[in-house]
Amino acid sequence: MRRLWLAAAMAAAAFGLSCAPALADVQSIYHGGTYFGSVIVEPDQVVRGDLTVIGGDAIVKGVVDGNVDVVGGNLYEPPGGTITGQVTTVGGDIAGTLIPWTGAVPVRTEPSPDYHIGWRIAWDVLAILFFLVFPVRTRMALDRLERHPGLCAAFGLLGWVAVLPLALLLLCTVLLIPFIAVEAVAILAATFLGKAALALLVGRRLCEVVSPSTTPSPFVALIVGLVLVTAAELVPVLGGIVSAFVLLIGLGAAILAFTGENVFGPPLAAPGSRPPLSGPPMPAA
C-alpha cells in the first residue's frame, strides 16, 4: 500500500513540477510531514516523525527520527546526519534529468561489501587445485615460461584473439554449437594452469633470492608466488596491467605445455652443471 502511494505521489509530483515554476530556496524544517520542494534538516536539529519530500531533495544534516521518503528527488546525508527509520527514494535520477531545477544530489546508499579480494582468493585456490591435479602439465608450462617467455606471450595473444572467431565459427556450423562451452572451459582451465605455472616461477625465484642455499618445495613456491601475484593485482592501475600480463603469458604457457618436447629442443641443463671440455690435450707447464 505504501509503495502504491509513493508511485501515485511521484506521478502527481511529476505533473505538478512540469507546470510549476522552479523552487528558488531550500526550506528548513523542524517537524515531520509532507513537503513540496527541497528541504533541509539543519545540524543539531531533531525532526520527529516520518518525512516525505515530493519534487525536491532532502538534505539531512541533523536527525530524522522516522522514515524518509523522497519522490522526484534525491537524499543527501552528509557525515553527522542520522536517519533512524527506512529510506525510500523514487525517481530522483529521472527527475533530475527531465526537470533541471530538482538538482543532482547524491543518493544515500548503504555500504556494500567488497568481493574483489574474495574473487582473487577463489582464483588462487583454483590455481592450486590445477597444480595438484595436473602437476606434470604445470611443470611443463613452467619450463616453457623459463625457456621461451616471448613465445608464451605470442601464443597467449594469439589464443585470446582466436577465442571470438572460433566461437563464431562453431556457432555458424550449428551442429558444433555445444563445443562453444568446451572452448570456454578449455580457456578457463588453461588460464588457471598458466597462472599456477607463473606463480610457481615467481615464488621459486623469490625463495632462491631469500635463501640461495635451499631449494623450496614446489607447493611452497606456488603459495609464495600466488601471494605476490595477487598482491600486485590488487594495486590500483598497476593491478590491471599485472592481470592482463598473467592472462596473456599464462595462456601461452599453458598452450605450449601441450606441444611436443622436440619442438623446443633438449631441456635446459641443471643449475651449476657445465658441458665437458673437449679438444686436444694441453701441454703441461
Nearest-Å Rg of the Cα atoms of the chain is 32
Q: What is the mean pLDDT of the chain?
A: 78
Q: What would the pLDDT profile of 101-143 be if each residue is shown by its tens digit?
A: 444 444 444 444 556 788 888 989 999 999 999 999 999 999 9
Given this model, what pLDDT does residue 261 score?
58
Residue with cell 525536491: 56
Q: What would the pLDDT profile of 176-203 be if each residue is shown by its tens digit?
A: 888 899 999 999 999 999 999 999 999 9
Mean pLDDT of 85-112: 53
**Percent helix, strand and coil across the chain, each rounded to 5?**
55, 10, 35
Q: What would the pLDDT profile of 231-250 be if each residue is shown by its tens digit?
A: 998 887 788 898 899 999 99
Given this model, what pLDDT does residue 24 score?
42
Sheet with 87-90, edge to edge strand ranges: 33-36, 51-54, 68-71, 87-90
Q: How far is CA 239 from CA 173, 207, 233, in A?
A: 39, 23, 4
Segments making up each domain of the chain, as ranges: 2-102, 116-263
Sheet with 58-60, edge to edge strand ranges: 27-28, 39-41, 58-60, 75-76
Q: What would the pLDDT profile of 259-277 be if each residue is shown by its tens digit?
A: 865 555 554 444 444 444 4
